[in-house]
Structure 1
Amino acid sequence: MKFRQAASAVLKESVEPLLEDYRPTAVNSLKFAKLSLGTVAPKIEGIRVQSLKKGQVTMDIDLRWGGDPNIVLEVDTPVGNIPIQLKDLQVFTVVRVIFHLAEEMPCISALLVALLSEPKPRIDYTLKAVGGSLTGLPGISDMIDDTVESIVTDTLQWPHRIVVPMGGTAVDASEFELKPEGRLTVTVVRANDLKNLEMIGKSDPYVVVHVRPRFKVKTKTIDNNLNPVWNETFELIAEDRETQGLTVEVFDKDIGQDQRLGIAKVRLSELEPEKPKEVNLRLLASLDTLKVKDKKDRGTCTIKLLYHLFSKEEQLVALEEEKRILEARKEMKEAGVIESTTDAVDASASGSSTATGGSGIMGSVGRELSKAGKFMGRTITGHSKRIE
């Protein structure tokens, strides 16, 4: 009983700040009203031990949890507080634990813990509005699904990892933390035959691209056009080309909440370093094809890609710039420029004179983003034009 209470308290303390960081723009706050892990313990269905690198032992654990937790999220929206209960939780994943060996007792200097990206972690649950129905709250379920997906992808899924230094042995934990591997240059060229969501006129599309959900960037919006041309170029950081991918989302700019027109993903493992590649992506309603009910054609998005592997010197510089961008995003959130640290940053905030000049917090944030732009999230060149 005491262990469950302690584990629930640690989980709440760890996850609530992430909920705030990844909180969608349409929500004022997102926190736990109740959090109990229940009485059902996770099941270990298999263990594989291997030595993939000298000085390390890797253990892959097949984990399944059909839990009975009592989890209630308090979602503060412009129309009031909405308590949402998470029920019927099931988790299927492979947990990778890497033991870094040491000569001195306890013979382990640090543990690295992560969820393997393949097979993709599966977290199933149902949502229920306490004292009401979710049918009257359109978009809430998708919002929570996207938030959970972003947190898992950006913090727990390999190559992201939790580093746990072990007592008794002096160790520099930063040695084991995630580091930039390379730079992905993305040019969003155009889209064709986009789905029209407007009753009058046509959709007003823009594109959001990211490798990590925490570092989203976006193109300009092109009004009233289902075949827009952007020709905007961004640079993003990747930590592991073998397991990460580029997510491309096309949205319709709207009053209130923007609507997603389509989404697609490109595995970075498909790219050969230093060799340009043009890709014509078929847009889907969701990357989870099992959840796709709308099978209608959503058009295509054409992008150009170039992957550059960092030298050790470039890696160190990119790591520092990545930290500056995170701090800049926090300052922008505190200043009310963005509502969440995971909001997509547009061209004007990532490289134009309107963001890099001026004084006070806006000028400071703009300058930090401009400095960081050499390695990620900067619009380098580009323009937009209309095609009627």
Structure 2
Amino acid sequence: MGLFFGLFVGFTLGLAFVAGWKHVMASRSKHRILKAACFSLLGQMNQDDVKRLCDSNYPPWLSFPTFERVKWLNKLLEKIWPSVASAASELIRTNVEPMLAMYAPPGIKLRFSKLSLGNVAPQIEGVKIQTLQEGQLIMDLDFKWGGDPSIILAVQTPVGANLPVQLKNLRFFSTVRVIFKLAEDIPCIAGVVVALLAKPKPEIRYTLKLIGGNLGAVPGLSEMIKGIVETAVADSLEWPHRIVVPIAQPPVDLSDLELKLQGKLTVEVVRAEKLKNMEMIGKSDPYVITYVRVLFQSMTNVVENKLDPVWHKTFCFDVEDQETQSLVCQVFDKDIGNDKLLGAAMYPLAKLTPGETKELVLPLTPSLDMDHVVDKRDRGHLFLKVTYEIYSKEQQKEAMEKEQAILAEKRKAAEEGLIGGTIDVIGGAVGGAGKLVVGGASVVGGGVGMVGSGIGKAGKYVAKSVSTSFTSKKGRTENGAPGTPK
């Protein structure tokens, strides 16, 4: 009896053990399959998917190993920051003040009355070695800075008043490209190139305060300064534009680091159709502003009382980097006072084949930056013919000499007060001025304080032409900064 009972108990326990083992193995197999599926899905995720999961405030090294963590670099930067800040302040003053003069509207002059980068060093959250060319080292830095700088702008108005404006709560986020040209002699670096990568878009946050007064009492001053800063950064510091800093002593040839013209873009603005009517009575009077770089804009003639205008106007633009630059077109309605934006379009030059003429039909949108636009409906279409041609060495040299000569003439004219900065189309880049009559030093329109409406938003300029090469034209975006109308 005991034998049979023992056999029964043993048999039962054996079956239970086998059943339990089978269940555990099946469960482990199920978990392995689930993990494999999860890893497979994670492997298929792109950067946009990671942004949606982790929000946009994540360092690149967290999601993608192409950026390496550089705690050691931040510790070193903290120790040498006082010396770096002093040198960087002088470099910013030397390079940025001319930019402010170039992009300022008529009758307005800006300069730094005080510039100190403070004691808080920036943080570099990641670094990526982009490429290693012969004699060059290219690095992309995930750069963030929320320091304690002391920056005061002296704003000279058309009536001669100087307004001290302080930049407070400055925050800067960008991917900075640094190119080192290597040398054999100590310090082993002949020169450095610094530029801001256009993607992701550099972000500059700050507030403005009028020292000894209320900034709101001066209409349009805040918008004007912000427009100048945004335009100057986008047109002069974003890649492919860059700052070249010589390091070696005595200086060596750094011409290979400087930006060179690659080719010529020929654009024929043919026509537009089904434009949005912005008039209460009659129809819009459209014209087109087009450019590759804000400093060199061109404008068609105005076609009155038409929503399907025809222009057939041809313009030529120098191209500095086909891979990263784009053709920008903005259609405006000419009006008494404020010209309204009818639609905008952008076309990447990387899509063009050299030597081939391409016919484009571009849908017009309310803004080039659609992230902050509620009404995203198309506003008609713009028809273009474009041809991109690569420069030979002789053509490149000739084009660069011509560009430098034009810029030198415009700087001189702007310093003499004959034109409002070096923008070809008045108001097209900064647009933060009211009704000015430059040359006569008069300010038209009733305003507040000493400035009147001379720096009111989205106004109208009447500037004295210097020559046919830079005759001022009308044109502006709705919020003053090109490419960012609301």
Could you tell me the TM-score, scaled by structure 2's length? Answer: 0.63
Partner of 2:233: 152
Label 1:11 to 1:230 Cα distance change in 2 as closer, same or farther (>3 A): same
2:359 is aligned with what amino acid? Answer: E
> Of 99, 108, 114, which aligns to 1:18?
99
Q: Establish whether residue 137 from structure 1 lines up as the match of residue 219 from structure 2.
A: yes
Label 1:288 to 1:323 Cα distance change in 2 as closer, same or farther (>3 A): same
Contact 1:109–1:169 (8 Å) recurs in 2: no
Q: What fraction of aligned residue pairs are identical, expressed as a percent?
A: 50
Contact 1:128–1:134 (8 Å) recurs in 2: no
Partner of 1:37: 117
Label 1:72 to 1:338 Cα distance change in 2 as closer, same or farther (>3 A): same
How far has the Cα of 1:90 moved from its partner?
2.2
Partner of 2:384: 303
Q: Establish whether residue 46 from structure 1 lines up as the match of residue 106 from structure 2.
A: no
Q: Return the alpha-carbon distance in structure 1 between the equivalents of residues 91 and 372 of structure 2.
A: 32
How far has the Cα of 1:164 moved from its partner?
1.6
> Of 61, 70, 84, which aligns to 2:141?
61
Label 1:231 to 1:332 Cα distance change in 2 as closer, same or farther (>3 A): farther
Greater fraction of residues in strand:
1
Partner of 1:352: none
User: What pairs with 1:1-388 in structure 2 (closer than 5 Å)?
Assistant: 7-8=88-89, 10-25=91-106, 28-32=108-112, 35-73=115-153, 75=155, 85-127=166-208, 131-132=213-214, 134=216, 137=219, 142-168=223-249, 170-330=251-411, 332-333=413-414, 338-344=419-425, 365-366=467-468
Q: Where do 5+ consecutive residues of structure 2 fail to align?
A: 1-80, 427-463, 472-486
Contact 2:215–2:222 (8 Å) recurs in 1: no
Contact 2:370–2:376 (8 Å) recurs in 1: no
Contact 2:124–2:141 (8 Å) recurs in 1: yes
Label 1:111 to 1:2 Cα distance change in 2 as closer, same or farther (>3 A): closer
Contact 2:82–2:119 (8 Å) recurs in 1: no
Could you tell me the TM-score, scaled by structure 1's length? Answer: 0.78
How far has the Cα of 1:142 moved from its partner?
5.0
How far has the Cα of 1:43 moved from its partner?
0.9
Per-residue deviation, residues 323-353 of structure 1 (Å, max 9, x unmatched): 12213333554676632211328xxxxxxxx
Contact 2:413–2:466 (8 Å) recurs in 1: no
Per-residue deviation, residues 281-329 of structure 1 (Å, max 9, x unmatched): 2223332222324445433322221111111121111111111221333
Label 1:264 to 1:166 Cα distance change in 2 as closer, same or farther (>3 A): same
Contact 1:328–1:365 (8 Å) recurs in 2: no
How far has the Cα of 1:236 moved from its partner?
0.4
Q: Return the alpha-carbon distance in structure 1 between the equivalents of residues 157 and 363 of structure 2.
A: 34
Contact 1:106–1:168 (8 Å) recurs in 2: no
How far has the Cα of 1:88 moved from its partner?
3.6
Contact 1:191–1:227 (8 Å) recurs in 2: yes
How far has the Cα of 1:189 moved from its partner?
1.3
Aligned residue-pair number: 351
1:321 is aligned with what amino acid? Answer: K
Contact 2:418–2:466 (8 Å) recurs in 1: no
3-state SS in 1 of match to 2:422: coil
How far has the Cα of 1:9 moved from its partner?
5.4
Per-residue deviation, residues 169-206 of structure 1 (Å, max 9, x unmatched): 55223332111101001111122233333344333222
Moved more, 90-99 or 287-296: 287-296
How far has the Cα of 1:120 moved from its partner?
2.3
1:289 is aligned with what amino acid? Answer: M
Q: Return the alpha-carbon distance in structure 2 between the equivalents of residues 217 and 240 of structure 1.
A: 19
Q: Return the alpha-carbon distance in structure 1 between the equivalents of residues 123 and 140 of structure 2.
A: 14
Larger Rg: 2
Q: Return the alpha-carbon distance in structure 1 between the equivalents of residues 307 and 183 of structure 2.
A: 59
RMSD of aligned residue pairs (Cα, Å): 3.3
3-state SS in 2 of match to 1:206: strand
3-state SS in 2 of match to 1:175: coil
Q: Return the alpha-carbon distance in structure 2 between the equivalents of residues 110 and 34 of structure 1.
A: 28
Q: Return the alpha-carbon distance in structure 1 between the equivalents of residues 282 and 198 of structure 2.
A: 41
3-state SS in 1 of match to 2:322: coil
